[in-house]
A = this chain, B = another copy of it.
Amino acid sequence: MHLLSIDSLDDEQIAALLDRADQFAAANRRRESSTQLAGRTVFNVFYENSTRTAMSFATAAARLGAQPLTLSVEHSSVKKGETLEDTARTLNAMRPDALVLRHREDGAVATVAALMDCPVINAGDGTNEHPTQALLDALTLRQQFGSLDGVTVAILGDVRHSRVARSNAKLLPRLGANVRLAGPPGLEPAGSTLSIDEALEGADAVMMLRIQRERLDEELGDAPGEYLSRYGLTFGRLAIARPEAVVLHPGPMNRGVEIADEVADLQDRSLILRQVENGVAMRMACLELLIG
């Protein structure tokens, strides 16, 4: 079994992952670890740089007693002209117990998974999916609201290029949430006419997406603070949502660009660090489900 997309999971598996991750989160807070995956080897192969995701998966593997082995693209045979398929077959022949893979191209992880005999977890492929991020977001929201049933989540910013938005747009509605997607001109979901302010209206939770600074131009606002005031999550704009609306961000944040400091650091209402914490727990649950 692979975890390539939210579609890889049935409702029962999603519910089980959320429950199990809750337990792991509590255990991690008590700094407990387990040895249930002792002797197992988890390959972490990242074709895109990542602090949080690579460390999060490595930590998750370590806490379960498995040995994470991380390979970053700089050390890869890719530069030597090997095809992705041959790299996949090569990694498979080493018989890892699981492969965690991030790649800059949509579908690359599925291509690799089709050639692997062990479980593959998509740690983000291009603008396609990032299922463990959506799962940890769902966990974070569930911890906050008890249930996602009827919860309105506004996902804002560079939706068009966001695998996080895409996976969340699949997962959260399956758990009963109402998801609204909106972004600045050119970054909004294809065909959408919902404005950012409309998406925010009465939302229970606001997930602000990262904008690549390279995308900023005159139209989006490339002067300091311009993108923030036009499209970013300022305290003023957050007030359009419910009074106690919570804030999420997949990180890393560009403070002062897509999110204001005062919002990122909102006592009790910013769940951004809780997301990171839940990330390790959810990846433990996923590794356990797939390998265990």
Contacts and interface: CB of A to CB of B under 8 A. Distances in A.
A285 to B, nearest CB: 15
A143 interface: no
Contacts of A8: none
A93 B273 contact: yes
Could you say how many copies of this chain the assembly holds?
3
A55 B69 contact: yes
Interface stretch (A14-22, A35-43, A186-194): A35-43
A117 to B, nearest CB: 9
A178 interface: no
Given A55-B94, A77-B252, A39 B35 contact: yes
B254 A81 contact: yes
Contacts of A94: 52, 55-56, 59, 276-277, 279-280
A10 to B, nearest CB: 25
Interface stretch (A26-34, A151-159, A161-169, A228-236): A26-34
Contacts of A69: 55, 58-59, 62, 68
B31 A52 contact: no
Contacts of A74: 49, 72, 74
Interface residues of A, number: 63
B273 A90 contact: yes
B77 A51 contact: yes
A63 interface: yes
A28 B87 CA distance: 19
Contacts of A273: 89-90, 92-93
Contacts of A96: 59
A28 B93 CA distance: 10
A95 B280 contact: yes
Given A28-B95, A253-B82, A33 B43 contact: no
A62 B51 contact: no
A13 interface: no
A282 to B, nearest CB: 12
A257 B33 CA distance: 49
Given A54-B71, A81-B252, 4 more contacts: A62-B67, A93-B274, A93-B276, A94-B276
